[in-house]
Structure 1
């Protein structure tokens, strides 16, 4: 019996390492994706908060300017509301300025925001402080006081143009930054997805494909071993009968002849008693070699048990099967099998019959050929007996 060969050179240990590595890569990418997404969400939450605060500042600046105009017209309740709005504007401005100064990021958007907030006489911080100072000055004077006219002019101008423009610019920069970060996140996610898919493809090719090949190979090998005789590597009784049934159906469907040969080694017990069972096993292996030399590729042989063999001969009528049996008998009779220092000869007795569904199919043919084989033995061994009562 030939030893089993692996279906793939990759060992189970290497496959396990590959599989574990692939899982670690996927797990690492999943964790990285989660951390990245968490960072982006936190960043966007902070950006959204700044955008909301900046929007609030724009609204407050417009409200303060509107309340200043109402106060100028003599509405004294507008003064209190203006002071409250100014206090809120000042607190919010202090927060935005502090965040801008504390930021250590060197990206373009952050530098643009810092240049708008601080660093010059026209910075947003200076504009906001001037706006707050003008609002408080207006609130501290009576509506008719001429000293408040200049402050109101600056306040209205800042609310309509300079302060409003800078706050709008801040919001636009933050929005662009958010869009940029989201675009980078999409690109990175696509890269991660690509790496994961590539890892899965490599995993499928390097790990699962060899595993499947092994499973298919060993499943086929187990199936083969279930129908093969381990000593002679011919079909065993089960495998032979299964093949016989397939050929019987095919022969019946196409109306083709089919014959069966039953063989038994003559005086096999004497060989075992004289030379030992190892010699008997070697003789049986030798018979299987003779079968392969004589039989056609369409014929197939099986070991039914002990020293008893059967051969199914498709596409052959009874006279042709008898000639094949005789050729096989002669080949075995003139051959010698070497066992250690001995040359051992053996002969075979063969029974030949045709297979017909009308006459009982394979089981009937096996029974009849077995009887014919024993007739050959009783007639002197080393001969062929057929169902036509021919003895050669």
Structure 2
């Protein structure tokens, strides 16, 4: 860590010397790496007061190529991404001795996530969602504010690009997922691996295919369903557990009792209360909605796909899919939220304000 800190200080000094030595300071190359177009756009706006040139990358491999090309003297790095995630990017930056300062920007608020990225050489960690003030304070804390010059207006390629609503819902879900994952981590005393959430508008046929895919992939042993409702918005949350998860969860929770059906139900309700409540609470906070939740219903020890008639009411709906995995244990579950067709217009109206 001492060598990494020494290297960071030297590189910050080099950035300062390089840009302040010229008669007219050149903008500092900044790289934003996030699979969410909406999150990248938020960061571009937060950087608008600084004299920087911005390059965007949608995954870790693309970011590494940009760093090698000299486009990322300062890298703002997400953690949960396809192809190469943030941890893998940090590992390669260190092993290949690439010259860049890395600030992680993530919705994963687990304390162990912060510890891991700092151990891998990150300069700092900022929780999503981000805005200009949060970024300004962070740059000051990390000693970068003096290295970056202010400017009144920023010209950035793709600055006017509008994120799609599905991209927006994915990023809102990313932040909500991080909050729920952190609470699950506290409950079980483990590190929770967070995926890239999936948000899309689906038809009834799409939902049937998705549920069947989850059934095959997870070898489902138990499913819990819980309705939720807010102003003009309602839906159902499905929590689907892998068949081996219950045994390992009982062990993690320190239960030496026989894993009876009653005990399984109790554990399912405990985990569901953490994941669904935390997720909906954080999602609601971002779009200014207080969700009320119905009584959870355990659908059974073996999951059966709903009949086609039961799916026809979901003619067109927003679905958000999040998978949680417990590192070092055979525990996994999928959280699937289905928003009713009547909710989509109200959701879109609130989302447009963002």
User: Structure 2 length normalisation: TM-score?
Assistant: 0.20
Please identify which structure carries the higher helix content: 1
Structure having the higher Rg: 1
Please identify which structure carries the higher strand content: 2
User: Structure 1 length normalisation: TM-score?
Assistant: 0.19
